[in-house]
Amino acid sequence: MEQIDKYASEEMRDALKRLGEWDKKEGKELEEDELSIKAEELKRKLDAGDKKADQIDLARRRVSFYFSSILQLKRHNYGNKHFLQGYDIRGTRRMLDIVLSLHKQKDTTQDKAGYRTLERDFAELVDWLDVRKEGLPNE
């Protein structure tokens, strides 16, 4: 239940909203190459101390940590189909794509293994969410 409360929190709502807004160009989601370019721009702004870039990075960390903790619950068999009823799988997948793009730009050369681990973990999470969601009743 704690994870559901975290997902429903104002902080998470703001983080998801901030990343969703950052992911837009003329009201549409960025293409993969645009997402990568925008992530590079954000990295430069972060390095320059831009406060808005810091807010986006905070949102990235919050969303990344949240979904990483969901994966840990899954690995320890704490997830069930009712736990997932509130999740929009497509939206979750997009948020993970955004987080990964931002994380990739933020990583230093010595932490590329950290990015690859996060990428693998998020792929596992999305696969699990897809499978679990299939078993839910259509409402």
Burial pattern 99-135, b for ≥16 Cβ within 10 A else e, equals bbbbbbbbbeeeeeeeeeebeebbeebbebbeebeee
pTM to 2 decimal places: 0.76
Q: Give the residue, 106 or 68, on which the prediction is more confident.
A: 68
Nearest alpha-carbon partner for 75 in 113, 118, 121: 121
Tens-digit pLDDT profile for residues 88-111: 666 777 888 888 888 777 665 556
Phi, psi of 28 (to 5 degrees): -115, 150
pLDDT tier at 25, thresholds 50, 70, 90: confident
Question: Domain extents for the chain?
Answer: 2-134
What confidence tier does 48 reach under pLDDT thresholds 50, 70, 90? very high
For position 67, what pLDDT does the model report? 84
Residue 50 has pLDDT above 90, yes or no: yes
